[in-house]
Amino acid sequence: KPIWWDRFVEGVNDFLSMIHNELIHPVWSVISAPFRVLAQWIPDIDWPWNFELRGANVSVKQSPFRRIVFDNQLASHVVELLWDDPDEFLEAGQAVSRDDYGAVARVPVHAPQPDGHFGKSAIGLLKRFNLRGILHTLTRVLLFTRGSRSWTYGREMLSAGIGTARPLAMVEDRLGPLRFRSFVLTEQVEGTPLPEFLAKTELNTLELDRLAGQFARIWHTLGELRIVHGALHASNFLVTPQGQLKLINLDGTWRHWFDLTFLHRRDRDWLRFMKTWRGQPEIGAAFRAAVARHFEETAVAQRQLIQPLTIQLQRAA
């Protein structure tokens, strides 16, 4: 890309950011202030149409103004804190990041152990996803919130064998069917971002191939599920102390049913991931080779499954 194009894009971004910060955000803050004050009082009313539905693993509690979905093994006092005032719970935690679009904090929760049971004390990660202005709100009040997507696809990925932070609870501010801010509480994954891990660690070929093989399995499984991460930067992969690769930050994740959108978005995810290794061609080559090798092994395994079935059908005929 020419230099003038980068400068043009940077100028447009600066102009739009100025409009948002100096005009849209202050006006929206004034307009929404009465509703925020009202929302602090209304959920405390014991509405007769509040309901709670408990399943084997997950429960749902909902009122006209708030909805929470939570893991049944999550401590009851944490559920109550999230239901009563998730903002206060987040503010009381240890801040990790904060901007106009959201906030992240570490909070004390009873998080699950590998065997599925919860320890006596552990740290969870609570994320708040803010609305981005009037236009952003109006175009998304009927869509899945980012908190909802983090919850839904996080649990689906775990069921499919993809390592990620286990979702513990999801909260939405609502007005009937209209959805506004959302929160998601997950377990905290201990690990190092993949680019930082590869920069600090001297890996031999076998260890690099092992990490690349884990990425290939994750990439293949996402394709089978027709799920696109939406921001598949290499920094969204964590390498745990046990050497496992885990995918995080699922709020932009989406399932695409049509090839026209799915293949385009999947290609963008691939380009985002490979962009990190432009200055390290040997690492990029290792990931490309692992993906190609995994797809070839999968195709061979499928052919081996089909051939015996074909022979059985011929004999039966």
Per-residue pLDDT at 80: 92
- Asked whether residue 3 falls in the same domain as residue 76, the answer is no
Q: Provide the percentage of residues in the chain whose pLDDT is more than 90.
A: 50
Which CATH number characterizes residue 288's domain? 1.10.510.10
State pLDDT tens for residues 291-302: 999 988 888 877
CA 28 to centroid of chain Cα atoms:
27
- Asked whether residue 211 falls in the same domain as residue 259, the answer is yes
Q: How far is CA 297 from CA 49, 113, 166, in A?
A: 54, 33, 29
State pLDDT tens for residues 98-118: 888 899 999 988 645 555 544
- Domain termination residue (choose one: 157, 187, 217): 187
State pLDDT tens for residues 151-207: 999 999 999 999 999 999 999 998 888 888 999 999 999 999 999 999 888 878 888
Per-residue pLDDT at 254: 92
- Asked whether residue 129 falls in the same domain as residue 218, the answer is no
- Domain termination residue (choose one: 160, 187, 214): 187
Question: CA dihedral in degrees (206, 207, 209, 210; nearest 10)?
Answer: 120
Query: Is the distance from CB of 188 to CB of 90 less than 8 angstroms?
Result: no
Per-residue pLDDT at 277: 93
- Asked whether residue 146 falls in the same domain as residue 213, the answer is no
Residues 6+ apart with CB under 8 A from 235: 193, 194, 195, 196, 276
pLDDT band at 46 (very low <50, low <70, confident <90, very high): very low
Model confidence at 50: pLDDT above 60: no
Mean pLDDT of all residues in 144-155: 94
Residues 6+ apart with CB under 8 A from 264: none
- Asked whether residue 82 falls in the same domain as residue 180, the answer is yes
Across 42-56, 246-260, 266-280, least confident range = 42-56
Higher per-residue confidence, 149 vs 63: 149
pLDDT band at 38 (very low <50, low <70, confident <90, very high): low
- Asked whether residue 72 falls in the same domain as residue 158, the answer is yes
- Cα separation, 180 vs 172, whole angstroms: 7
Q: How far is CA 185 from CA 73, 94, 251, in A?
A: 13, 14, 12
Q: How many structural domains are present in the chain?
A: 3
Burial of 293 (0-12, 13-18, 19+ CB in 10 A): middle
pLDDT band at 290 (very low <50, low <70, confident <90, very high): very high
- Asked whether residue 137 falls in the same domain as residue 68, the answer is yes
Q: What pTM did the predictor assign?
A: 0.76
Per the structure, the complete domain to which residue 99 belongs is given by: 47-187
- Domain termination residue (choose one: 126, 161, 187): 187
Mean pLDDT of all residues in 82-92: 92
- Asked whether residue 144 falls in the same domain as residue 270, the answer is no
Per-residue pLDDT at 246: 96
Across 17-21, 82-86, 115-119, 260-264, least confident range = 115-119
Question: CA dihedral in degrees (185, 189, 192, 198; nearest 10)?
Answer: -110
pLDDT band at 39 (very low <50, low <70, confident <90, very high): low
- Asked whether residue 2 falls in the same domain as residue 92, the answer is no
